[in-house]
Amino acid sequence: MQEKFFERLKAVIPPSYSLAQEVADRLGISSDSAYRRLRGETELTFNEAARLASEFGISLDSMLENGSDSVTFQMNGMRENNMDFTSYFEEMRKDLMTVAGIPNASLIYLAREIPVFHFFQVPELAAFRFYFWKKTSDTSNQLESETFNLRNINPDQLEVARDIYKYYLRIPSTEILCGASLSSWMKQIEYSLESGHFENPDDALVLFEKLEDMVNHFKQQATFGEKYVIGGKPLGKKGNFQLFSNDVVNSENLVLVSFGGSQIAIQHSLYNFLRTNDVAFCNYARQTLDQVMRKSVLISEISERERNKYFNRLRSDVRKFKEGILSSGLL
């Protein structure tokens, strides 16, 4: 049982880290004492196991499960009684910083819309997404009268957003986009406009313009096969970005992070995440993603015709939605 516990612990720490040193630091013991526990010469107490499990997000219950169909997940995200978005995005920044610092780490992202990280490089879009999530998750009605104003953007939130995107840039990624990838953004802008949440309704038009700017940059990244900052130039890191389009699969969001032979699978809905490092589940997730990729169209670097078709459709959707708002009398 102790050997199994340390195997699970080793799977969740970066491969460049020393397991013995991590155990010693977390338990406040010497390196020699940590090695004796790793070799099984000294029994790991329940309190020590509980502390390590808490520190590294490992379920002790999963150590006692014998059934191969049992999978333990850790929840990361917003809870109804603790809607602390500052801590939430700080945790996201910390997680991406950790992954970005691991040599040869990579991720595969099966998404129902363009991953939010790309929007975080555009201050106006990042600010609106922060506002909308905070507004719609408020169960106490304390934010009922709060409006959105592009001239009153929280600089601390923008700094976190920039950092999140900065670390995401450094992680080689494969993204598989399913269906209408901007519909939720446009519907959220429309909803906020209809509900009177814009202090200046013209800000809604600015957001549509920024959406189109982001689409244009996203296409350029796909063309070069490289992620880079909007307004900047490719840094010659070809191959750190693959983009697939799939109009058939209707899937929940799934992320698979791989590093040093280990994997972590993450499923999320809106802003809540479930993650696991269960080997069988992660292998199943990888097989599923590989199967979806085989049935998708690669539109980064190659397939110019398909790439143009995909992004022309996105631009057309943004313009039509914007025209619809202009003709609706909401502005």
The phi, psi pair for 273, rounded to 5°, reads -120, 140
Tell me the C-alpha to C-alpha distance, in Å, between residue 210 and each of 122, 206, 315: 7, 6, 11
Domain annotation covers residue 105: yes
Rounded to whole angstroms, the Cα distance separating 285 from 275 reads 12
- Same domain for 60 and 192, yes or no, is no
Domain annotation covers residue 265: yes
Total structural domains within the chain: 2
Residue identified by tokens 């799939």 is 246
Percentage of residues of the chain with pLDDT beyond 90? 41
Classify burial at 288, counting beta carbons within 10 Å of its beta carbon; exposed 0-12, middle 13-18, buried 19 or more.
Answer: middle
Task: Record the tokens describing residue 280, joined without a space.
Answer: 């069988």
- Same domain for 87 and 151, yes or no, is yes
| Cβ count near 25 (within 10 Å) | 13
Angle at 238 between CA 237 and CA 244, to 5 degrees: 130
Instruction: Give the pTM.
Output: 0.77
Predicted local distance difference test score (pLDDT) of residue 223: 95
The last residue of one of the domains, among 36, 64, 92, is 64
Task: Record the tokens describing residue 78, joined without a space.
Answer: 């917003």
Average of per-residue pLDDT values in the chain: 85
Q: What is the CATH number of the domain that holds 13?
A: 1.10.260
Average the pLDDT over 107-127 and give the result. 91
Rounded to whole angstroms, the Cα distance separating 2 from 41 reads 11
Domain annotation covers residue 69: no
Q: How confident is the model over 144-165, as pLDDT tens digits?
A: 778 999 998 889 889 999 999 9
Say which residue, 57 or 47, is predicted with more confidence.
47
- Same domain for 58 and 143, yes or no, is no
Q: Which domain holds residue 117?
A: 74-328
